[in-house]
Chain A
Amino acid sequence: MSLVGLTIVSVLFAVGTYLVLQRMLSRVIIGLGLMSHGANLLIMLSGPGPARPPVIGTAGLTAPVADPLPQAMVLTAIVITFGITAFLLALALRSYVLTGSDAVEDDIEDRRIAGETHMVEVTPPLEIHEVVE
């Protein structure tokens, strides 16, 4: 594995993790995208490195053959991530239409417990949205 590649992967994962922990849905989705990019890049790096194309019928050439497997795997993984990201975006849009805000909603259970103990004042979702903004 190359050092440059690994650095890029770790930066992608660090930024992705930071964004996934945010309150705004759009940031969470971008964070997930970056994380998947990091994972895909890591698979690309897991092969033995650049070499002659793996084509049958070039027996005379002596140069080593590249490993096609990581590329095949990454293609599959990219398509899957693409599909799920599209679904997530549709879900985020639906959530925006329903609640009028881009923030991840409070857990119902958390809110119930907070209400029962009277320890925490339950804030309406709109105000949470303003605080985050």
Chain B
Amino acid sequence: MSWLLPAVVAVPVLGAGLTVLVGRRLLLQRAIALSGVGFVLGAALLLLVEADSNAAVVAQVGGWPAPAGITLVADRFAGIVLSVSSAMLLVVLLYAMAQLGRDALDWWFHTKYLILTAGVALSLVTGDLFNLFVGFEIMLIASYVLLTVKTGPGEVRATMSYVVINLVASALFLVVIAFTYTTTGTLNLADLAVAFETLDPAVRNSLGLLMLVVFGIKAAIFPLFMWLPDSYPTAPTPVTAIFAGLLTKVGVFVIIRTQTLLLGQDGPSTLLLFIAGATMTFGVLGAIAQNDIKRILSFHIVSQIGYMVMGLGFLSAAGLAAAILYITHHIVVKTGLFLVGGLVEAEEGTGALDRIGGLLHRRPVIAVMFLPLALSLAGIPPFSGFVAKLALLQEGLALDRGVIVAVSLAVSLLTLFSMTKIWGGVFWGETTEPGVPSARGMTLATGSVVALSLGVAVFAGPLADLATRAAADLVDPAVYTSLVLGGG
């Protein structure tokens, strides 16, 4: 089973090479892209099942034992995030295929998309700090090129700030790697967890803080989120949707991984909870001030990251389980909302709320798809967001952290408010001139995301159990280290 781990990275990369080789044969490119991403989804599900019965799948690439060789690990946490991510990658790929030709998605879209898939997969399964850097860079390079699919003035300006911010973050990441290697002499995460235990607390905390800054830029937490609402909305819908669903969440995944594995667990972290509260508040306030559907949703990405950091901030098994549940719910719902936003843009020719309206009468199906996603984002029962938020609030009250609970409830209310703003602007009001009707495939792909998000709510019980088991592994770093260093 462990051969699947290198394969989830290698197969998309090979597929990307093949799409270049077949040249401009669209049908072949599509077939390769679909089978590449489909393989990753299948492998991710197999890995999750295997990890859930055996605690983790570990592969030592090249046959060298753990601290010396390249380690790939899929524990329950990585398995969950990888499965949800690859499911979204597949759905958005289908959406993009339906849209291709309507928007300026060019011929090499599938190549970049497969590289992005490989980068996301490597960042999630790697067990080594330097390979994490490589995984991030693969993912980012693909994202730079995807953002500039259209090379108008807006795209160039937005991509420029995105690239510069991420390049500075990469330089800082290299600095973290250098400092970590000097202090401990290893970069293998499991080996680091052992080495960090004996470090001077001051050194350990400063390394931890540096890591938080580096991954915080990728995850767009307060106060490092300003680049996100500026760069995401300019890209074509499939690109924005997949970025919104995955890229920042990979950052959150790595923050949770490093904070739990490398830094000690001594009760809730006030710093993380403060960051969580500020991220939620500033994100949602930014969203309320916007007038464009994609810009509103982009600010909500930031706001929602706050909830995930809140779960991590509790630094308890139940808190982490809630964070995992929240990530699962959020990846699905956020991708879905952006796909709906794309449908609206395709129908109306613009996403500006004051220039559209009355879509409820013309295309009721879009409204039907938007409603459960929007209510889920705000955390209204019985949708998936409610389950995840409830778990967070319960843990917050159990740990007696009233302030963050109050902040998160207020932010939920504001989230609901800005969702009604979209609803009122897009679906109610005067009917505007109809634009080009969107392709049926786009609607079908969006519908399947909605079905998935309802599925998260329906199967919340088993999912919560799985998240609890995954969180139990995270709370005790010894589980991870013994698996990686013990066997090969």
Point out residues on A near B: beta carbons under 8 Å.
1, 16, 20, 25, 28, 32, 35-36, 38-40, 42-43, 45-47, 69-70, 73, 76-77, 80-81, 83-84, 87-88, 91-92, 94-95, 98-99, 104-105, 107-109
The prevalent SS among residues of B at the interface is: helix
**B144 touching A80, Cβ below 8 Å:** no
> What would 11 A/B residue contacts be, using CB atoms closer than 8 Å?
A20-B168, A28-B164, A32-B171, A39-B178, A42-B178, A46-B179, A84-B144, A84-B167, A88-B160, A95-B156, A98-B156
Distance of A15 Cα from B396 Cα, bound (Å): 45
**A20 touching B163, Cβ below 8 Å:** no
The prevalent SS among residues of A at the interface is: helix
**Which residue of chain B is the closest to A77 with respect to CB atoms?**
B174
**Which residues of chain A are within 8 angstroms of B160 by Cβ–Cβ distance?**
25, 88, 91-92, 95, 104
Distance of A28 Cα from B163 Cα, bound (Å): 11
Taking the nearest CB of chain A, how far is it from the CB of B285, in angstroms? 14
Answer whether A36 and B171 are a contact pair too, CB < 8 Å, given A46-B178, A73-B130, A98-B153: yes
**Which residue of chain A is the closest to B172 with respect to CB atoms?**
A39
| Chain A CB within 8 A of B175 CB | yes
**B174 touching A88, Cβ below 8 Å:** no
**Which residue of chain B is the closest to A93 with respect to CB atoms?**
B156
**Which residues of chain B are within 8 angstroms of A28 by Cβ–Cβ distance?**
164
**Which residue of chain A is the closest to B157 with respect to CB atoms?**
A105
Distance of A32 Cα from B403 Cα, bound (Å): 40
Taking the nearest CB of chain A, how far is it from the CB of B410, in angstroms? 24
| Chain A CB within 8 A of B209 CB | no
**A40 touching B174, Cβ below 8 Å:** yes
**A32 touching B168, Cβ below 8 Å:** yes
**A36 touching B156, Cβ below 8 Å:** no
| Chain A CB within 8 A of B53 CB | no
| Chain A CB within 8 A of B177 CB | yes
**B141 touching A87, Cβ below 8 Å:** yes
| Chain A CB within 8 A of B137 CB | yes
**A70 touching B167, Cβ below 8 Å:** no
**Which residues of chain A are within 8 angstroms of B171 by Cβ–Cβ distance?**
16, 32, 35-36, 38-39
Taking the nearest CB of chain A, how far is it from the CB of B237, in angstroms? 19
Answer whether A73 and B167 are a contact pair too, CB < 8 Å, given A91-B156, A104-B160: no
Distance of A78 Cα from B148 Cα, bound (Å): 24
**Which residues of chain A are within 8 angstroms of B178 by Cβ–Cβ distance?**
39, 42-43, 45-46, 70
**Which residue of chain B is the closest to A113 with respect to CB atoms?**
B289
Distance of A73 Cα from B159 Cα, bound (Å): 27
**Which residues of chain A are within 8 angstroms of B167 by Cβ–Cβ distance?**
32, 35-36, 81, 84, 88
**Which residue of chain A is the closest to B68 with respect to CB atoms?**
A69
Given A39-B175, A81-B167, A91-B163, output 18 extra A-B contacts at Cβ < 8 Å: A25-B160, A32-B171, A36-B167, A42-B179, A43-B177, A47-B181, A73-B130, A77-B174, A80-B134, A80-B170, A84-B137, A84-B141, A84-B167, A88-B163, A88-B167, A95-B157, A108-B154, A109-B230
**A1 touching B174, Cβ below 8 Å:** no
Point out residues on B near A: beta carbons under 8 Å.
130, 133-134, 137, 141, 144-145, 148, 151-154, 156-157, 159-161, 163-164, 167-168, 170-172, 174-175, 177-179, 181-182, 187, 230
Name A46's contact: one of B133, B157, B181 (CB within 8 Å): B181
| Most chain B CB atoms below 10 A, which of A25, A39, A69, A92 | A39
Answer whether A84 and B181 are a contact pair too, CB < 8 Å, given A43-B174, A76-B134, A98-B156: no
Distance of A73 Cα from B177 Cα, bound (Å): 10
Taking the nearest CB of chain B, how far is it from the CB of A112, in angstroms? 9
**Which residue of chain A is the closest to B133 with respect to CB atoms?**
A77
Name B164's contact: one of A20, A47, A76, A98 (CB within 8 Å): A20
Distance of A42 Cα from B151 Cα, bound (Å): 36
Taking the nearest CB of chain B, how far is it from the CB of A82, in angstroms? 12
**Which residue of chain B is the closest to A32 with respect to CB atoms?**
B167
**Which residue of chain B is the closest to A1 with respect to CB atoms?**
B182
**Which residue of chain B is the closest to A88 with respect to CB atoms?**
B163
**A84 touching B164, Cβ below 8 Å:** no
**B153 touching A84, Cβ below 8 Å:** no
**B163 touching A39, Cβ below 8 Å:** no
**B174 touching A36, Cβ below 8 Å:** yes
Answer whether A91 and B159 are a contact pair too, CB < 8 Å, given A39-B174, A46-B179, A46-B181: yes
Distance of A48 Cα from B144 Cα, bound (Å): 36
**Which residues of chain A are within 8 angstroms of B141 by Cβ–Cβ distance?**
80, 83-84, 87
**A87 touching B144, Cβ below 8 Å:** yes
Taking the nearest CB of chain B, how far is it from the CB of A90, in angstroms? 9
| Most chain B CB atoms below 10 A, which of A16, A47, A77 | A77
Taking the nearest CB of chain A, how far is it from the CB of B149, in angstroms? 13
Distance of A20 Cα from B179 Cα, bound (Å): 23
- Return the 3 tightest CB-CB contacts between A and B, nearest first: A39-B174, A42-B178, A46-B182
**Which residues of chain A are within 8 angstroms of B130 by Cβ–Cβ distance?**
73, 76
Distance of A40 Cα from B130 Cα, bound (Å): 13
Taking the nearest CB of chain A, how far is it from the CB of B381, in angstroms? 35
Distance of A109 Cα from B167 Cα, bound (Å): 23
**Which residues of chain A are within 8 angstroms of B230 by Cβ–Cβ distance?**
107, 109
Distance of A88 Cα from B156 Cα, bound (Å): 10
**Which residue of chain B is the closest to A35 with respect to CB atoms?**
B171
Taking the nearest CB of chain A, how far is it from the CB of B298, in angstroms? 11
**Which residue of chain B is the closest to A76 with respect to CB atoms?**
B134
